[in-house]
Amino acid sequence: MAMVEDYIDFDIENMLDLSMFDPPLPDSASLIEVKSIPKKRKRLTIKHDILALRQKYNQLTTELELLKSKTPLTLTKSTWQERSIEQARLAKQAMQENTRLRELLNQHLQLSRGLERMYSKIQRINKLSYPGVEQFAVLGITKRHESLRGILQHQYNLLSSHWIRHDLYRYENSDENIAKSQLHTLCAEPFIDYVKCTSYSKSVADISNIIWDMLDFCLEDNPKAFEVIDKDTECFQDDILYSRYICHNKDSSLPPYEARLAMRRFIEKDRVVIIWHTITDDTLYPWNPKYWRNNASGWMIIQSQGKNKSRIMSYIHMAAPTITTEPQGFDICALMTNMLKQFEQDMNLCDEVITKRIAQC
């Protein structure tokens, strides 16, 4: 029975056209039109957009922090970057080296300038006489004449400086008699400066001859101040005298006084210059250690003031005499004061001798 019913149903389905109940299928053109029509988007407000962006930002930030924690950030330098850094370092090093070299160059330039100044001074010093026989006035056993000439030439070269220092040039055209003496002290050592200017009615040649002859025996004409014990004089052809004498001071209980004087006369066109200087050491004639040693030097100019009229200008420097063994109770200042008085007496005696000889001519 059941099989019959199934069979009948099958037939009925075959007999009926079920396609009539299905909706019609669209064609391809209609499908294209349907796809091209955009779907309407659901409209959102600005507030929803901001919230969505903020959520996205927070999400990305969280992911970034997570990546940083997992892999540390290391920057890799490119080849050009490393090269530029190295060039900058080398440039800075070169600038520092340049600064250091400039400083060294300035130091060497200063040193070279100092050496150049020193060399120029040495050249000027070399033009002068060497510090030996001339400056220290020392005589040896041989070449005594040459040594005396060098000593007195050095003394002559100092004439201009002393003339300016002591204002002697101011008295050249004057007829006034000038006599000035001063006792000074330098480094606890006393010394005497004496300036004397006098005019005479006689020619330069006559006055110079009188003074030159007087230098050998002036002390003999002054028995009041000194008593000459011994005297010896060497004369040379070129107006050079070397006088050695020992004298005793009658007014003092001091030991005898020994002097060694080298003298020279320079005859020039308009004047005559006479100079003298103490010989500090003589190998051939050594000093007596018991005697005082003279220490003096002087310059004298005799120049014309017209026909048969001459002007004598002189400057004399006397240092304190020396002795190997000083006596007890010795006062050097008292000795120098006494010497100054005696020297002034000698100069007055010279004036008398010159006046007397002029009258005899």
Is 224 in contact with 252 (CB distance < 8 Å)? no
User: pLDDT confidence of 289, banded at 50, 70, 90?
Assistant: confident
Q: Is residue 131 over pLDDT 50?
A: no
Measure the CA angle with vertex 154, ends 148 and 156; round to 5°: 100
In single-letter form, the type of residue at position 240 comes to I
Tokens standing for residue 333: 């200042």
Is 219 in contact with 245 (CB distance < 8 Å)? yes
Q: Is residue 120 over pLDDT 60?
A: yes
In the chain, % of residues over pLDDT 70: 73
Please tell me which of 2-16, 60-74, 241-255 the model is most confident about, judged by mean pLDDT: 60-74
Q: What is the mean pLDDT of the segment spanning 61-67?
A: 89
Residues sharing a CB contact under 8 Å with residue 89, sequence separation 6 or more, in sequence order: none
* Euclidean distance between CA atoms 209 and 205, whole angstroms: 6
User: pLDDT confidence of 253, banded at 50, 70, 90?
Assistant: low
Alpha carbon distance, N-terminus to C-terminus of the chain: 210
Q: Is residue 168 over pLDDT 80?
A: yes
Q: What is the mean pLDDT of the segment spanning 268-286?
A: 89
Q: Is residue 91 over pLDDT 90?
A: yes
**Angle, in degrees to the nearest 10, between helices 332-360 and 204-217:** 130
- DSSP one-letter string for 246-296: EEEETT--SPPEEEEEEEEEEE-SSEEEEEEEE-SEESSSPPPTTSEE--E
Is 222 in contact with 342 (CB distance < 8 Å)? no
Q: Which of 137, 142, 169 is nearest to 153 (CA)?
A: 137
Query: Which of 18-22, 85-89, 98-102, 346-350 has the weakest average pLDDT?
Result: 18-22
pLDDT (0 to 100) of residue 132: 42
Domains for the chain: give ranges and CATH numbers.
136-360 (3.30.530.20)
Share the mean pLDDT of the chain: 77
Strand, coil or helix: what is 225?
A: coil
User: pLDDT confidence of 55, banded at 50, 70, 90?
Assistant: very high
Q: What is the mean pLDDT of the segment spanning 222-251?
A: 72
User: pLDDT confidence of 133, banded at 50, 70, 90?
Assistant: very low
pLDDT (0 to 100) of residue 274: 94
**Could you give phi then psi for residue 334, rounded to 5 degrees?**
-65, -40
* Euclidean distance between CA atoms 332 and 189, whole angstroms: 9
* Euclidean distance between CA atoms 288 and 302, whole angstroms: 35
Is 315 in contact with 193 (CB distance < 8 Å)? yes
Is 347 in contact with 354 (CB distance < 8 Å)? no
Is 166 in contact with 159 (CB distance < 8 Å)? no
Measure the CA angle with vertex 216, ends 212 and 220; round to 5°: 130
How crowded is the C-beta side of 76, counted as CA atoms within 13 Å? Answer: 2
pLDDT (0 to 100) of residue 303: 92
User: pLDDT confidence of 127, banded at 50, 70, 90?
Assistant: very low
User: pLDDT confidence of 73, banded at 50, 70, 90?
Assistant: low
pLDDT (0 to 100) of residue 103: 93
Q: What is the mean pLDDT of the segment spanning 11-19?
A: 48
Q: What is the mean pLDDT of the segment spanning 126-154?
A: 72
In single-letter form, the type of residue at position 34 comes to V
Residue keyed to tokens 């000795």 = 335
How crowded is the C-beta side of 288, counted as CA atoms within 13 Å? Answer: 15
Is 265 in contact with 149 (CB distance < 8 Å)? no
* Euclidean distance between CA atoms 300 and 163, whole angstroms: 10
Q: What is the mean pLDDT of the segment spanning 155-180?
A: 87
pLDDT (0 to 100) of residue 56: 92
pTM confidence score:
0.59
Q: Is the Cα dihedral 238, 205, 278, 169 positive or negative?
A: negative
pLDDT, greater one: 104 or 342: 104
Which DSSP letter does residue 202 get? Answer: S
Residues sharing a CB contact under 8 Å with residue 203, sequence separation 6 or more, in sequence order: 304, 308, 310
pLDDT, greater one: 356 or 219: 356
pLDDT digits over 301-359, tens only? 999 988 888 999 999 988 877 776 665 556 677 777 777 777 777 788 788 888 888 88
